[in-house]
Amino acid sequence: MALPRHLKNGLTPLEIEFLAENELIEIEAAIDTRTDLELLSGTLPALKPLRTNKVPLWMAISLKKKHKCNIRVPAWMTVEALTRTLKEEETNDVRFSYMPYHYMEIAQLLLENAMDDIPSADATRTLLKDLREARQSKARQGVHSLGESYLQMDNIGLMEINEIRPFFTKAFFEIQKLRPAVAGNPNNNNAYDYDHYGNSSLSMDGRYGGANTTDFDGKASYSSSTIPESSRRFQSTQGSRMN
């Protein structure tokens, strides 16, 4: 498909943000809707003031912009929880600590639209930034262990995956291409037939030695002193060139 290049690599950050807006979040509504809310994705119970309701993030933000609700900060986004996660992130060198799949997007949307609902928003922002940097450097370590089969990264968020995806997938294919010569490699779907040369003598310095080779199915050696067939062929090619 003829997509622009920046769309070929997967999702764009804006698309990921859109996906994250479907996550449920707790709000305290300031309005009474009286009836249940029938949405395409399902029915939400009616919003009542002084009660907490779970609604999709997009609805929470929309209500927030109309000053019709307060958003409750998710448990993982409080300063205490983030401090704990950050400490865990820094002590454990290999594993990612647990964070929601959409944590970057949700945090960004909340910090952008519901600043007044977040106690100590600045501290939260700093902690999130530190956390992201710690995780990013861990993802970078992952390059080191990029092997031929797979790479394990638990608890990584969608935005983080999407950031390293173009780089990692391309690098992965290149590594696989670099090891075609391994015999019996199941991923090997190259056009060249190695068995054909299975018998040929290959000297250690990497030369293709055609000197004393016998072909696989017992044909004459490559370097027979007379080349009856090929001589005719080469002459005819040259002839056509001159014409």
Partner 1 sequence: MEDYYDIDAILAEDQNVKCAFQSNIPGLAWLEGGHDDALKAGSRFDIPFWLARELVEHDEETVGIDIETPEYFGPKVRNALRADANTVDLTKQCPNFFRFGTVYLQLVDDVALSGVMEEAFKARLQMTMDHTQSGGNSNTTDYLNRLDETERALYKAGMESSASIHQWNQHSFGRIRSASEMLLKRKAT
Q: Which stretch binds partner 1 (CB under 8 A): 51-59, 88-96, 116-124, 216-224?
A: 216-224
Q: Which of 12, 5, 43, 51 is nearest to 158 (CA)?
A: 12
**Structure token pair of residue 133:** 């940097």
Q: Which residues of 187-211 are buried (b: 16+ CB within 10 A; e: fewer)?
A: eeeeeeeeeeeeebeeeeeeeeeee
Residues numbered 118 to 137 that lie near partner 1 (CB under 8 A) are 136
Say how many CA atoms lie within 13 Å of 136 toward its Cβ.
10
Q: Which of 17, 22, 21 is nearest to 162 (CA)?
A: 17
Asked if residue 144 binds partner 1 (CB under 8 A), the reply is yes
User: Least distance to partner 1 from the beta carbon of 176, Å?
Assistant: 10
Q: Which stretch binds partner 1 (CB under 8 A): 25-33, 44-52, 57-65, 158-166?
A: 158-166
Asked if residue 185 binds partner 1 (CB under 8 A), the reply is no
User: Least distance to partner 1 from the beta carbon of 22, Å?
Assistant: 18
User: Least distance to partner 1 from the beta carbon of 209, Å?
Assistant: 6
Q: How many CB atoms lie within 10 A of CB 7?
A: 11
Residue 22 per-residue DSSP state: T
- Name the amino acid, one letter, at 43: T
Asked if residue 217 binds partner 1 (CB under 8 A), the reply is no
User: Least distance to partner 1 from the beta carbon of 144, Å?
Assistant: 6
**Structure token pair of residue 82:** 């983030």
Residue 192 per-residue DSSP state: S
Asked if residue 192 binds partner 1 (CB under 8 A), the reply is yes
User: Least distance to partner 1 from the beta carbon of 70, Å?
Assistant: 23
- Name the amino acid, one letter, at 231: S
Residue 26's DSSP bridge partners are 54
Residue 42 per-residue DSSP state: E
Q: Which stretch binds partner 1 (CB under 8 A): 19-27, 115-123, 149-157, 160-168?
A: 160-168
Asked if residue 58 binds partner 1 (CB under 8 A), the reply is no
Contact criterion met (CB below 8 Å) for 73 and 110: yes
Residues numbered 1 to 40 that lie near partner 1 (CB under 8 A) are 5-6, 9, 12-14, 17
Q: Which of 41, 91, 149, 237 binds partner 1 (CB under 8 A)?
A: 237
The residues binding partner 1 (CB under 8 A) are 5-6, 9, 12-14, 17, 108, 112, 136, 140, 143-144, 146, 159, 162-167, 170-171, 174-175, 177-182, 189-192, 194, 196-197, 202, 205-211, 222-225, 227, 229-231, 233-235, 237-238
